[in-house]
A and B are shown apart, each in its own frame.
Chain A
Amino acid sequence: MNDTAMTPNKIIVCIKPVVLSASGGTARSTDSYELNPFDRPALEVALQMKEKRGGTVIVVAMGPEPSAFVLNEAMAMGADAGILLCDRALAGADTLATSTTLAAAMKKLLPVDLILFGTRSADSDTGHVGPQTAVLLDLPLVTGISSVDALRNGLRVERRIDDFQEEYEVSFPAALTIHPGAARPRDIGLLGMVPAFEERKLTIWGLKDLGLSPDRVGESGSATAVLSLSKTQRTRMCEFITGSTDDQVDRLLDRLLASGLL
């Protein structure tokens, strides 16, 4: 088999529209959302793979209609098509219900060679969705990938964890979560705007399209519920020590000794 035959022909990147600011009662608009910064490196890895070896990159997101904007932005960066999973029944989903929804979308997109995720999201920060979706699809998964190399029969990937580096070989189809340091995401330039907004296809799939029942998704399909959300109080204090350098050193040492830190 030659290299080209084993190039991932269809790469799906799951991206999350995260809310920029959520002031109470304000209707959310296009400008309320941004593409989760932790998903951008995953998209970049996919786009680089496509540029080197061809194939198609499809971005998939779940959210209300205005959040489709992040799919347009991803298409402006080079993704070929975008799919928004959008239905009132999907609201209030925890990570399990989200993964169930994404997995249903992936099944509709089969055959898929590679599914990429960021490692986590800038808002809820759980890191669950990539692994859970892979499990639901029964796909091999490697997390926290820092580099990807194409092989004749799949990919060689590196995973960095603490002071160690692991190498894996994975065959298609597979799922990966991409470490934020794996690739520097490209700027969204003007050249991609017309393709993103006027030429490439943005599809919206609701619950019926996904073939899911309402009890498996959204709030009712969630295994967990957030009971309350409140701002934490910061107790750290900042103190400036002034004076000559010698005075500052003396006073700093006194403070550190007095507090038991030295």
Chain B
Amino acid sequence: MDTFLSEKNRAVRRSVRSFCTREIFPIAREIDHEASFPWEVVEKMGKLGYFGIQVPKELGGAGLDSMSYVIVVEEISKACGSLGLCVTVHNSVAVFPILTFGNEDQKHKWIPPLARGEKIGAFCLTEPNAGSDAAGIEATAIRQGDHYVLNANKVFVTNGGVADICLIFARTDLEAGAKGISVIVAERGTPGFVVGDLEDLCGMRANPVTSIRLYDCAVPLENLVGTEGMGLKMGLAALNVGRTGIAAQAVGIAQAALDEAVKYARQRRQFGVPISQHQTISAMIADMATQVEAARLMVYRSATLRDKGEPFSQASAMAKLFASETSSKVTDMAVQIHGGYGYSKLYPVERYYRDARVTRIYEGTSEIHRIVISKGILEG
């Protein structure tokens, strides 16, 4: 597997793995249980560059490649899915659009604190009546003098409870349909910016997923990212990058489940031998390992294409679909191998099982991905 990695990529993996083993894994169970966001660890991650993985050095980031990005996300997710989610969403769908479509003033204002992790970013697209159908959003941004007045009800916002810089998808032209949607940055603390309660979720519980509501929230016109009407185009570009990250996250969670299953199968004895010696169990391990490996290769391929400047949206969509479905299967098998203990909070596999489930839903459901992929094949 590591054949595909440069020395730099390997060093990234080793350094992140070492940090996660020492700082993140030991608290993962507790922060999941308490649904708390570990600020102390997040601050350390910020100082190490985890929140500006691909941000150029001159803007305070690590200036690394996409391969490094997926490795970082995989390793963090292996220790804690919630923090992997925080990092991938921040780096891809929050930082990437500003970096790619923002003007110089916007980049210099928002990127350095985001890259250092001093400010956390969020991507606010989903609404109660608009998820997979992104063009159906109802949020509005009406020009009034030198401001946009935003009214929005954004739900299931990853990082919502801690986000300072939020990319709001809103209609700037009420008549133009999908082409009337724009991205406008709203900062926490602006009058009318309201953070909702924490969502009580099945998994990813240490990520402060909330709603964000904007009530006549006036933000300067210069907070428009790109131009009016290109919101959906920017959103899709960001999601292309983000989906590779979610796929990497799914691989990380699946790898963690596989590692635990192997460990348990070697130590748990039934019928006088370790259960790993029973063919049904060893066959499950073989299937799990093969699927994780295949998913990881798809993630690496997507990252490599992006690093080479080649089209990668199809590869990203396939990686996300396969890795998330794989993660659900593999974590389910890990629970099964653990038997009753797998259903208990004494072992981490039940957390992996819960965390993996949502990777099939967010940043595009598996169903939407199948539509995207098939369109690419049938109409491409």
B345 CB-CB contact with A under 8 Å: no
A69-B11 contact in complex given A190-B49, A190-B50, A190-B64, C-beta closer than 8 Å: yes
| Interchain CB contact under 8 A, B11 and A31 | no
Q: How far is the CB of B57 from chain A (nearest CB, A)?
A: 7
Which of A105-113, A151-159, A194-202 sits within the interface? A194-202
| Neighbouring B residues of A197 by C-beta, 8 Å | 6-8, 11
B63 CB-CB contact with A under 8 Å: yes
| Neighbouring A residues of B11 by C-beta, 8 Å | 69, 72-73, 76, 188, 193, 196-197
Chain A residue with Cβ nearest B44: A187
B31 CB-CB contact with A under 8 Å: no
| Neighbouring B residues of A193 by C-beta, 8 Å | 8, 11-12, 15, 62, 64, 68
| Neighbouring B residues of A260 by C-beta, 8 Å | none
B62 in complex: contacting residue of A69, A72, A191, CB < 8 Å: A191
| Neighbouring B residues of A30 by C-beta, 8 Å | 7, 10
A189 CB-CB contact with B under 8 Å: yes
Interface residues of A in 49-103 (CB under 8 A from B): 69, 72-73, 76
| Interchain CB contact under 8 A, A191 and B48 | yes
Interface residues on A, range: 10 to 19
B310 CB-CB contact with A under 8 Å: no
Of B6, B11, B15, most A-chain CB atoms within 10 Å: B11
Of B15, B18, B53, B63, most A-chain CB atoms within 10 Å: B15
| Neighbouring A residues of B50 by C-beta, 8 Å | 190
Q: How far is the CB of B297 from chain A (nearest CB, A)?
A: 18
Q: Mark A1-32, 1 if CB is under 8 A from B, else 0.
A: 00000000000000000000000000000110
Query: Which 3 pairs between the two chains have the least Cβ-Cβ distance?
Result: A189-B48, A190-B49, A190-B62
| Neighbouring A residues of B64 by C-beta, 8 Å | 190, 193-194
Q: Mark A185-215, 1 if CB is under 8 A from B, else 0.
A: 0011111011011100000000000000000
Assembly CA distance A190 to B14 (angstroms): 11
A31-B2 contact in complex given A76-B15, A188-B18, A198-B8, C-beta closer than 8 Å: yes
Q: How far is the CB of A220 from chain B (nearest CB, A)?
A: 32
Assembly CA distance A188 to B11 (angstroms): 9
Q: How far is the CB of B90 from chain A (nearest CB, A)?
A: 14
B47 CB-CB contact with A under 8 Å: yes
| Neighbouring A residues of B18 by C-beta, 8 Å | 187-188
B264 CB-CB contact with A under 8 Å: no
B19 CB-CB contact with A under 8 Å: yes
A187 in complex: contacting residue of B8, B48, B62, CB < 8 Å: B48
Q: Mark B15-34, 1 if CB is under 8 A from A, else 0.
A: 11011000000000000000
Assembly CA distance A190 to B72 (angstroms): 9
| Neighbouring A residues of B6 by C-beta, 8 Å | 197
| Neighbouring A residues of B7 by C-beta, 8 Å | 30, 69, 72, 197
| Interchain CB contact under 8 A, A194 and B10 | no
Interface residues of B in 38-78 (CB under 8 A from A): 44, 47-50, 53, 57, 61-64, 68, 72
Assembly CA distance A251 to B297 (angstroms): 57
Assembly CA distance A38 to B214 (angstroms): 54
A190 in complex: contacting residue of B2, B10, B12, B44, CB < 8 Å: B12
B15 in complex: contacting residue of A31, A190, A198, CB < 8 Å: A190
Assembly CA distance A253 to B63 (angstroms): 63
| Interchain CB contact under 8 A, B57 and A31 | no
Question: What are 5 A-to-B residue pairs whose CB atoms are below 8 Å?
Answer: A187-B48, A188-B18, A190-B48, A191-B62, A193-B68
Interface residues of B in 68-127 (CB under 8 A from A): 68, 72
A188 in complex: contacting residue of B2, B15, B44, B68, CB < 8 Å: B15
Chain B residue with Cβ nearest A195: B57
| Neighbouring B residues of A72 by C-beta, 8 Å | 7-8, 11
Excluding A187-B18, A196-B11, 18 further A-B contacts by CB distance (< 8 Å) are: A30-B10, A31-B2, A69-B7, A69-B10, A187-B15, A187-B44, A189-B15, A189-B47, A190-B12, A190-B15, A190-B48, A190-B50, A190-B68, A190-B72, A191-B48, A191-B49, A194-B57, A198-B8
| Neighbouring A residues of B61 by C-beta, 8 Å | 191
A194-B62 contact in complex given A187-B48, A189-B47, C-beta closer than 8 Å: yes
Chain B residue with Cβ nearest A66: B7
| Neighbouring B residues of A187 by C-beta, 8 Å | 15, 18-19, 44, 48
Assembly CA distance A188 to B22 (angstroms): 13
| Neighbouring A residues of B12 by C-beta, 8 Å | 190, 193
| Interchain CB contact under 8 A, A189 and B2 | no
| Neighbouring A residues of B2 by C-beta, 8 Å | 31
Chain B residue with Cβ nearest A189: B48
Chain A residue with Cβ nearest B69: A190
| Neighbouring A residues of B57 by C-beta, 8 Å | 191, 194
Q: How far is the CB of B53 from chain A (nearest CB, A)?
A: 6
| Neighbouring A residues of B49 by C-beta, 8 Å | 189-191
| Neighbouring A residues of B44 by C-beta, 8 Å | 187
Assembly CA distance A188 to B2 (angstroms): 20
Q: How far is the CB of A190 from chain B (nearest CB, A)?
A: 3
Assembly CA distance A193 to B57 (angstroms): 11
Chain B residue with Cβ nearest A69: B7
| Neighbouring A residues of B68 by C-beta, 8 Å | 190, 193
Assembly CA distance A30 to B5 (angstroms): 11
Assembly CA distance A197 to B50 (angstroms): 18
Q: How far is the CB of A227 from chain B (nearest CB, A)?
A: 35
